[in-house]
Structure 1
Amino acid sequence: MNRILVTGSTGTLGRPVIALLHRLGADVRGLSRHPSHSSPADSPALPADGPLPAAGPRTFRGDLATGEGLEQALAGMEAVVHCASDTRRMGRTDLQATRNLLDAAGRAGHPYILFISIVGVDRIPYPYYRVKLRAEALIEAYGGGILRATQFHDFVLGGARLAARLPIALAPDVDVQPISTTTVAARIADLLDDPRPGRAPDLGGPEVLHTPDVFRSYLTAAGSHRPVLPIRLPGATFGAFRRGAHLTPHRSPGPHWSDFLQNHFPGTPTTP
C-alpha cells in the first residue's frame, strides 16, 4: 500500500512511522490537531540509503474527537495507521475518536486501518487499557488490523524522569520489556505490505528488565545519585503487572534500553 495516512503523526510513535514510510517511498500524510508542532523524531536517524519521494510528507489538521478534517485527510488513502491516543486523559476521547475515524473511512472507500495497541490490554484491568481493548473491538468490526506492542523506550524514560523528581525514586517492583519506536515502525511497514484483518502477533522488546534496575540505569546516565526504592501496590492491576501480563515471549531484534540511554546521554555504556 502506497497512499497512507498516519494519525497522531506528531506523537512519539507517529513521527518515526511517518519518517520510515516516507523513506520507503510511500505517499504518506499525517493527521494532527497541531501540525505546526511537528518535529523530527527523537529516535536514532534512519539510514540514508534508498530513494526518497520527491515531496515530503504533508500533515493535515484534523480532530479525531470531533471528526473535523477527517474526510479531506482520508481522500485517496489506501491505508491508515491509527497511532493517535488521548494518553494525557487516560484515553477519554479515544473511543469516539476511533468511531469518527472508522465512519469517515467508510465514506472514503474503506481503506485498510491498522490500530496500534498495547500488549496485555485484555489481561490488565487498567482503565486506559480497557479503553484500548474496546477500541480494538471497533477496529475488528471494521475489518482492520491490530498490532500490540510492549512499552516504548520513551514511555519508560518518562516514568524514570517522573520518579527522579523525588528525593527517593519510587520504582514499581515489576518487569518491563521496552522497545524502540523505530522497531515498531518497521513492523508497521511490514504489516502494510501484507494487510490482513485481525490481530497480528504481539511485538515485544529484545529484553525483559526489572523496573528498579531500569530506573537506576537512567539515574546513573543522568548523573544522579538518588536511591531507588522498589514498591508494590495492592489491587488487581498491579497484580497483573507483577504476573507479567504486559510482557510477551515474542522478542524483536533492535535497540536495547542501554542503546536508547546512550542516544540520550552520550557516554552511557551499551550492552555487549
Structure 2
Amino acid sequence: MKRILVTGITGTLGRPVAGVLRSLGADVRGLSRRPGQDFQGDLADGSGLDAALSGVDAVVHCASDTRRLGRGDVQGLRNLLAAAGRAGRPHVLFVSIVGVDVIPYPYYRVKLAAEGLVEGYGGTILRATQFHEFVFGAARIVARMPVVLAPDMPVQPISTRDVARRIAEILDDPPAGRVADLGGPEVLRAPDMVRDYLRATGRDRRTIPARLPGATFRGFRQGAHLAPSHRSAGERWAEFLEARVRGG
C-alpha cells in the first residue's frame, strides 16, 4: 500500500484527490497550514515538511495561493522539493493548467515556473483544463451585475474527481515528466455557461458576450487553454451545475 502525501488537502482539488486515493487503498497523509490534518506545515517557510514527507512514496502537490495569484507558490514548491530530496526523493506529481506556456496571465506564469522546478527534480506534471468549481465561482460573481458581461471565449470545464482519478492512475507509474494534458468532456462558450448558471439559479439577467483586449484574453479566445484531443469521459457541466445548485 502506497503512502501518499497530499498538499492543500482541504482545497478544491486536494479533497477529491485524497478521497479517490483512499478509496483505492492508499495510505493518504494530509498537509495543511490549518490544524486538524495529519500534518500541519507551512510551505512558505518549510516548517513541518520533513515530518510530513518522512516515509512517503509519493507527493501530490495541490496547494496554491489562488487568491493572491500564486504569490509564494514557487518558493513553497522549492521548500517542498528540498524536503522531498531529504526524504529519499519520492515521486512528486504537480498539477498545472493547460496553456500556461502560451497565455501570459500572471498566475499561469507562476505555474510555468513551478513546472520547471518539478522537471528539474524529476517528477511528473499533469496539466488540466479549468475546474467546474472555478467556472461556477466566476459565474456567481458576474451574475451579481444587472447586466452580465461574460468573456467571449471557449471553456473546457472538468470535474476535480476526474482529475483525481487520472492522478491515481499516474501514481501507479514511475515519474514521467510532463504527461498528456487532461481536458473536460466538452468545449463550451463562457457566455452560454453563465446563462446556464442564471437559469439554474432562477435569475433573470441579460448576458452580453464581452470581447476583452490584451494578449492574455487573446490567448483564451484562441483556445490556448483547451485540450480538445485529450477529453475525459467524465462529468459534464450541466451535471455538475444541477448537483451543485440542488445541493445548495
For Structure 1 versus Structure 2, the TM-score category normalised by the shorter chain is over 0.9
8 Å Cα contact 1:10-1:35 kept in structure 2 = no
Shift of 1:35: 3.9
Give the aligned partner of residue 171 of structure 1.
Answer: 150
C-alpha root-mean-square deviation of aligned residues, in Å?
Answer: 1.1
One-letter code of the match for 2:170? L
> Partners in 2 of 1:62 and 1:229 — Cα distance?
44
Unaligned stretches of 5+ residues in structure 1: 37-57, 268-272
8 Å Cα contact 1:168-1:228 kept in structure 2 = yes
DSSP 3-state at the match of 2:75: helix
One-letter code of the match for 1:23? S
Q: Is 1:229 matched up with 2:208?
A: yes
Give the aligned partner of residue 14 of structure 1.
Answer: 14
8 Å Cα contact 1:140-1:197 kept in structure 2 = no
8 Å Cα contact 1:3-1:79 kept in structure 2 = yes
The 5-angstrom pairing of residues 173-212 of structure 1 reads 173-212=152-191
> Partners in 2 of 1:202 and 1:35 — Cα distance?
34
Give the aligned partner of residue 107 of structure 2.
Answer: 128
Give the aligned partner of residue 121 of structure 2.
Answer: 142
One-letter code of the match for 2:4? I
DSSP 3-state at the match of 2:246: coil
Give the aligned partner of residue 239 of structure 2.
Answer: 259
Fraction of identical pairs, as percent: 67
Give the aligned partner of residue 33 of structure 1.
Answer: 33
Moved over 6 A (4+): none
Give the aligned partner of residue 40 of structure 1.
Answer: none
One-letter code of the match for 1:27? D
Give the aligned partner of residue 160 of structure 1.
Answer: 139
For normalisation by structure 1, the TM-score amounts to: 0.89
- 1:143–1:27 distance in 2 versus 1, CA, 3 Å: same
Give the aligned partner of residue 23 of structure 1.
Answer: 23
DSSP 3-state at the match of 1:245: coil
For normalisation by structure 2, the TM-score amounts to: 0.97
> Partners in 1 of 2:218 and 2:204 — Cα distance?
30
Give the aligned partner of residue 192 of structure 2.
Answer: 213
Residue by residue over 1:81-108, the C-alpha shift from the partner in whole angstroms, topping out at 9 and shown as x without a partner, is: 0011110001110000000000011001
Shift of 1:212: 0.2
8 Å Cα contact 1:147-1:200 kept in structure 2 = yes
Give the aligned partner of residue 151 of structure 1.
Answer: 130
The number of residue pairs the alignment matches comes to: 246
